[in-house]
A and B are shown apart, each in its own frame.
Chain A
Amino acid sequence: MLTDLLIAFILLTNFALSVTSRISKAIQLAVVQGTLLGLLPLAMGLGRHLHILLIVAATVGVKGWLIPYLFRRATRQLKLPREVQPYLGFTTSLVLCALGTGLALLLSSVLPLAPAAPAPGVAHQVLAGGGCALFVPASLSTLLTGFILLITRRNALTQVVGYLVLENGIYLFGLMLVEDMPLLVETGILLDLFVGIFIMGIVINHITAAFDSMDTHRLAELKD
């Protein structure tokens, strides 16, 4: 039940993200979403595995502390516009987000799920409970929200938020497999996400210095 509640909150953050007009708010929402995701394995009752505890600690650390720290550093040094400057209106974004969630629900009802057909030989049937059927649609809907944010916002920082939300969606899908995912791979993925955001932060700094703005609309010199 707790799992369902957390997933519902994650879906709500998606909707909130698509209507947020302030950049700082969008960053906060993405961080809240990341932290919720990080805590999800505990709600799934997987706290007894040591490697999952490590993953929980690493995820909450990276998504809930390190990445917001990077964002805060970036926003403190730069003169940040308060608004997200969307190409699309907030209502349109919200409608798109809702449509995406509907589409995700439709799509995942077509795809076969492990609990529907319990496979022989699988030791732990974590997902055997009916409630966890929400994982696939929630993951796809978060992914689509990330895409919408990436495409329709022109501020470089908001694009990074979009990328973060997209990664959150993929991470949510990965949670269905978290039980037997090798720790090495999981750590590599988290590390790459962190370094990726770090490098993007550096590039944003350079963009602001060179163009005196974070508006990616100005990055339009190169074309055929």
Chain B
Amino acid sequence: MAWLLIVLPLLAAVVAFVPASAPFRVRLLPAAGVLHLAALVAILAATRPANTGLEAWLRLDPLGGWTLLVISALFCVCACYAPAYLALRPERDNRVFTSSFLCFLGLASLLAQAHHPGLVWVAMETTTLCTAPLIYFNHNRRSLEATWKYLIIGSVGIALALLGTLFLAYSARMGGLQEPLFYTVLMENGARLSRPWLRAGFVLALVGYGTKMGLAPLHTWKPDAYGESPGVIGALLAGGVTSCAFLALLRTFAVAAAAGELAFARELMLGMGLLSMLWAAVFMVRQLDIRRLLAYSSVEHMGILAFGIGIGGRAAVFALYHLAANALVKGVLFMSAGNINRSYASKRLPHVTGAVRRTPVSGWLFFLGFLAIAGTPPFAPFISEFNLAAVALARPSLWAGAAFLVLLGGIFLAMGDTVVQVVFGTPPADRVRTPYRDTAATTLPLVLALLLTAALGLWLPDPVGAMLRSAAHLVEGQP
């Protein structure tokens, strides 16, 4: 039944694009989001169905299931917030917005279930294409520039990932393996893959999918795309599209690990991870644009994910856990920042100060979101960041753990400087106040997401924990 998760959102997208009236379309979003999440939880809780022909191509394994759970939860939050946002923008037609939004959910479900490298690539490329119109939602020169950069840089990156996929297939061909080359086939026959082609394929996949994740130095589209699109789109990009790309990268990582190249792949991930954190830290210092600040925070957290996989072992479990922590908190941050920006009609620092007085709920949500993402208990990012540092320090590679902690501290200071001014500064007297006020519709989904993050930090249900552990085993190449 899992294929319904792919088909239904795509069908809803078609309905939203063709016949539906504008109010119906808007109501379709939360309905689809809640339904998708409920169906996914039911499928994950159910016992495994028997093997069918389709099963080899599309199947929810622990790794894909966990990633899709994260994406679906974030989508649910975004979809419940979107109607209120669209109501604030009556001048923009919401047809393309809603159908692209729903399309993304269907394609993410396809990516999470796909077990053929080619199919994964197709799903990833299509998410790039269907999110491009979302970035252009504001229809002005700045969003146009952001969309062009996103399309060109994203497409070139994804093209390199395709070359990596072909290299992987060629390495299997040299090992005498036959198509269709499912990931399970590649992992079981890891020893037969040709090493030079496998290594080159992994590097290309890292560059290609890393571009979509936004790992430094391939992140250059990120501040522009996140900065110029609406907050709710920023949330979906920073938590959803990046998680998709991370999953695609992990699939290739698992093949490399199963073929006995684990040490090589880990070193590359560790290096990219720390570089991303360093790059983000440098650009966060005195960053006056709130959205760009959040974009660099996203670069940092993609770095943390790569760092966790690079350390490996127990750290891989916490890296996967961090995927959920990052996605939910990024949702809160981007959407509350969107509310604040709407109230001030600006997203730059000298204009936007004292948000707790103008928009108290969004202001506090933004501040708590910042504390959460920086690793303050009891929120979920604390658990993952603390444990990642602990595992890294316990390993022989002491320097990596030390660098991780120093970078986290530096980023906390750099980000905190801007956030505290935005939230607690004196509101500028000369700045006109737009009619925007916090309402239940624009804040309640965010409050729920933040509560979920706190709950996840305090208590992880046993089945979820087991799923995370088996997903981490899969990433390390043990099917």
A contacts, CB < 8 Å to B? 110-112, 114, 117, 119-123, 143, 150, 156, 159, 163, 166-167, 170, 173-174, 176-177, 180-182, 184-186, 188-189, 191-192, 195-196, 199-200, 203, 206-207, 210-211, 216, 219-222, 224
Q: A176-B170, A180-B178, A188-B118 are in contact. Are A207 and B148 (CB under 8 A)?
A: yes
Is B152 within 8 A of A150, CB to CB?
A: yes
- Pair B144/A210 contact, Cβ less than 8 Å: yes
Whether the Cβ atoms of B118 and A185 lie closer than 8 Å is yes
Shortest distance from the beta carbon of A167 to any chain B beta carbon, whole Å: 6
- Quote the shortest CB–CB distance from B104 to chain A (angstroms): 15
Residues of A within 8 A of B132 (CB): 199, 203
Q: Is the CB–CB distance between B179 and A112 below 8 Å? A: no
Interface string of B168-186 (1 = CB under 8 A from A): 0110011110111000000
Does any Cβ of A come within 8 Å of B151's Cβ?
yes
Q: How far is the CA of A157 from the CA of B428 in the complex (A)?
A: 44
A170's contact among B163, B227, B292, by CB below 8 Å, is which? B163
A200 to B156, CA, bound (A): 13
A114 contacts B174, C-beta separation under 8 Å = yes
Task: Chain A residues near B136: list those with CB within 8 A.
Answer: 203, 206
Asked if A224 and B287 make an inter-chain contact with CB atoms under 8 angstroms apart, the answer reads yes
Report the Cα distance A112→B199, complex, angstroms.
13
Q: Are B126 and A192 in contact (CB under 8 A)?
A: yes
* Docked CA distance A18–B266 (Å): 38
Instruction: Show 9 A/B contacts (Cβ-Cβ < 8 Å), sorted by A.
Output: A150-B152, A173-B163, A181-B179, A182-B180, A195-B126, A196-B125, A200-B151, A203-B147, A216-B148
Query: Is A182 in contact with B118, judged by CB distance below 8 angstroms?
Result: yes
CA distance A188 to B115 in the complex (A): 15
Contact assessment for A163 and B129 in the assembled complex, using a CB-CB cutoff below 8 Å: no
Is there an interface contact between A189 and B194, defined as CB atoms closer than 8 Å?
Answer: no
**A176 CB to closest chain B CB, in angstroms?**
7
Q: Which residues of B contact A207 (CB under 8 A)?
A: 144, 148
B142 to chain A, nearest CB (A): 6
- Pick the contact of B228 from A185, A196, A220, A222 — CB < 8 Å? A222
- Which chain B residue has the least Cβ–Cβ distance from A206? B144
Taking CB atoms, residues of chain B closer than 8 Å to A211 are: 141
| Contacting residues of chain B (107-158) with chain A, CB-CB under 8 angstroms | 116, 118-119, 121-122, 125-126, 129, 132-133, 136, 140-142, 144-149, 151-152, 155-156
Supposing A120-B176, A189-B118 touch, asked if A222 and B162 sit within 8 A by C-beta, the answer is no
The closest CB in chain B to the CB of A123 belongs to B178
Nearest A residue to B146, CB-CB? A222
Q: B145, A181: Cβ atoms under 8 Å?
A: no
A143 contacts across to B, CB distance below 8 A: 163
CB distance from A137 to the nearest CB of B (A): 14
CA distance A206 to B145 in the complex (A): 10
Q: How far is the CA of A156 from the CA of B129 in the complex (A)?
A: 17
Q: A112-B197, A199-B132 are in contact. List 19 more A-B contacts (CB 8 A).
A: A111-B197, A112-B174, A114-B170, A114-B174, A121-B176, A122-B176, A170-B159, A170-B166, A177-B166, A177-B179, A196-B125, A199-B133, A203-B136, A203-B147, A207-B148, A219-B144, A222-B146, A222-B227, A224-B292
Q: Is the CB of A203 within 8 A of B144?
A: yes
Say yes or no: is B53 at the interface (Cβ < 8 Å to chain A).
Answer: no
Whether the Cβ atoms of A199 and B129 lie closer than 8 Å is yes
Closest 6 pairs between A and B when the two form their complex, measured CB to CB: A185-B118, A188-B122, A121-B176, A180-B179, A119-B176, A219-B145
Residues of chain B contacted by A163 (CB below 8 angstroms) = 152, 155-156, 159
A192 engages B142 (CB within 8 Å): no
B214 located at the interface, meaning its Cβ lies under 8 Å from any Cβ of chain A in the complex = no
B463 on the A face (CB < 8 A) = no
> Could you say which residues of chain A place their CB within 8 Å of the CB of B287?
224
Instruction: Enumerate chain A residues within 8 angstroms of B197, measured Cβ to Cβ.
Output: 111-112
